[in-house]
Structure 1
Amino acid sequence: MAIRERRREGSDNHRDALEALDRAIEDLDWTVPPPGTRAHGFTAPSGMLASISLGDPAHPRAVLLPGATGSKEDFVLLLPLLQDAGYFVQSYDLAGQYQSAAAGPGENGAYDYALFVADLIAFLEAGPTPAHVLGYSFAGIVAELALAERPELFATLTLLGAPPEPGQAFRGVRWIGRLSHVLSAHRIASLIIWGIVTNTNKVRAGRLALVRMRFQYTSRRSLDDIVALMKHVPDVRAVLATAGIPILIAVGDNDLWRHDLHRGLADRIGAEIRVYRTGHSPCETTPHQLAHDMLELYARGATR
């Protein structure tokens, strides 16, 4: 099956306008949610998850799932774009992350795939389904596993910078791939934290303040466990290929994983792929282009 990549889909003028809007984004306080956002707690199998909602609950639903070291605030720029297009948008911090730090498996348990998948399924079941689901980075694996278990809950799936290979996911990461086989999960997590805190990606001051502040709350044990999970990613590609819903792979041209790996996954599962001029975080740096492509995906999901 051929890869369907449409980096310049639609008119060049429209795509250029979206790129211009993204370039014009100024630094901001990432802790301030979009106007009209409602903060609330959700009682999940792992505990209380910090959640937000924006838009009319009667509208079609989109659920955006942040990854490890992240939080719902990663979608501050994306949320209002989807709401303005007529969607009810929700997000929550994963168990162990930021304001959901107290949620987890208990003192002697581990943050495993079953925990994260159960939380997502419970969250989806608590509102209208099927929903449009986005999984960012590690959360892309969680979303894939939830789709494999409960496909009726999904209208579409967006994999945003998600690991493109099963098994030892770090082997394809640009800067740590060769060493990832011999480094412990704890050491890899330490390197990830170091890279974020020292601002190796050169993010702006407002963004840096948020990502540094979150580490004051996020459970270090949860990060170690998530990295260990990413060394053993289940292979659900056959399930994704036959899921019967539109799937979008959205990545930056300087993503953590090589392009050929993302394109290989798209080819294998019959997904669309979009590539943006950015790094691992299109939701932060190219939200207008990402929202445009997600809305096209949603339209395909509504007519399937």
Structure 2
Amino acid sequence: MSRPFSFVPPAGARAHRLNTGRGEFAVIEAGVAVKGTALLLPGFTGSKEDFIALHQPLAASGYRTVAVDGRGQFESDGPEHDEAAYAQDELARDVLAQAQAVGTPVHLVGHSLGGQIARAAVLLDPTPFASLTLMSSGPAQISVPQQQRVKLLRDALTVMGMAQVWEAIQAMEPPEDTETGGLDSGLDEREDLRRRWLGTKPAQLIATGRQLCTEPDRVVELAAVRLPKHVLSGAHDDTWPVPLLDDMAVRLKAMRTVVRGAEHSPNTDQPERTAQALAKFWDGTDGAQPTST
């Protein structure tokens, strides 16, 4: 459900390992924390590279950004077959450890699945966080058509290896339509996407895919947390319908941003507009006022 703009870190960014109390995580970091630091969590089938196009504009706005591969995602290690290691509570505790290692308080941003993990982390302990942005991440389970796609993937992963599943996905759909692809810009990028897919642990995909299909509505719990909140999405989303995200923002008393010209991944569809909206929110925009960019 995530597609990167590029796998090449922009000028001024560096890829490294973040040491935490719960192990090492691969990150891409950029900028100086003139105004603050943001921790960016990718979505299902995604990675830290999904945020590459946000680093430079957010650095120009005075923010340090740290995009992370979660446990079992791409370049962060995790068990191949132990699904319990990827329980939402475990992933949320990883986020708390990442925040402490980065240096709190941090602005927490979660895209899609990353938003639900971010929410779980905030509900465990909101104190490390300066704010929460849910990017294209809804109140409960994903839409029925997306549940069907995720179930097909989970079923395939129980009987096939990651390389076999990759080849099956490529054979079934053109590259611009695949969830693990998305951009038709040449063989180099296609190989990067394949490398990311093969680096992701199957147990992570199976466990988090199940979470996406069964996640309960926890908006009431989250609304009770005294933390600035932001619901950001594209103008169209087939994973959580935009009206559902609108309603969630109202229930959370959150700032609402709809990014024109973007769909489920505004971070790659419209990175400049998305970065502007994030910086505006972090700069102290009134969270009760809806806005579009």
What range describes the TM-score normalised by the shorter chain of this pair? Answer: 0.7 to 0.9
Q: CA separation in 2, counterparts of 1:73 and 1:148?
A: 26
Higher relative contact order (CA 8 A, sep 6+): 1
**What corresponds to 2:265 in structure 1?**
281
**What corresponds to 1:82 in structure 2?**
58
Contact kept, 8 Å, 1:161 with 1:281, in 2: the verdict is: yes
In the alignment, residue 154 of structure 2 is paired with which amino acid? Answer: H
Q: CA separation in 2, counterparts of 1:140 and 1:90?
A: 15
Residue in structure 2 matching 1:252, options 225, 229, 234? 234
Contact kept, 8 Å, 2:139 with 2:219, in 1: the verdict is: no
Task: Confirm whether residue 199 of structure 1 aligns to residue 199 of structure 2.
Answer: no
Listed one character per residue, the Cα deviations across residues 225-274 of structure 1 (whole Å, up to 9, x for unaligned) are 11112233244312321322221111112212212211121111111222
Give the match's secondary structure for 2:132.
Answer: strand
Give the match's secondary structure for 2:226.
Answer: coil
Task: Confirm whether residue 214 of structure 1 aligns to residue 196 of structure 2.
Answer: yes
- How many angstroms does 1:180 deviate by? 7.3
- How many angstroms does 1:76 deviate by? 0.9
- How many angstroms does 1:109 deviate by? 3.8
- How many angstroms does 1:42 deviate by? 2.2
Give the match's secondary structure for 1:221.
Answer: helix
Q: CA separation in 1, counterparts of 2:35 and 2:116?
A: 27
Q: How many residues align?
A: 267
User: 1:1-304 residue pairs with structure 2 within 5 A?
Assistant: 30-44=6-20, 47-57=23-33, 59-100=35-76, 102-104=77-79, 107=82, 109-162=84-137, 164-166=138-140, 169-170=141-142, 172-173=143-144, 175-176=145-146, 179=148, 183=151, 186-187=154-155, 194=169, 198-200=175-177, 203-205=183-185, 208-255=190-237, 256-276=239-259, 277-300=261-284
In the alignment, residue 195 of structure 2 is paired with which amino acid? Answer: M
- How many angstroms does 1:138 deviate by? 0.3
Contact kept, 8 Å, 2:42 with 2:110, in 1: the verdict is: yes
Rate the CA distance shift 1:50–1:293 in 2: closer, same or farther, 3 A.
same
Rate the CA distance shift 1:105–1:269 in 2: closer, same or farther, 3 A.
farther
For structure 1, list consecutive stretches of 5 or more residues without a partner in the other structure.
1-27
- How many angstroms does 1:123 deviate by? 0.8
In the alignment, residue 268 of structure 1 is paired with which amino acid? Answer: R
In the alignment, residue 165 of structure 1 is paired with which amino acid? Answer: P
Contact kept, 8 Å, 1:52 with 1:72, in 2: the verdict is: yes
Q: TM-score, normalised by structure 1?
A: 0.77
Rate the CA distance shift 1:131–1:108 in 2: closer, same or farther, 3 A.
closer
Q: TM-score, normalised by structure 2?
A: 0.80
Rate the CA distance shift 1:29–1:289 in 2: closer, same or farther, 3 A.
closer
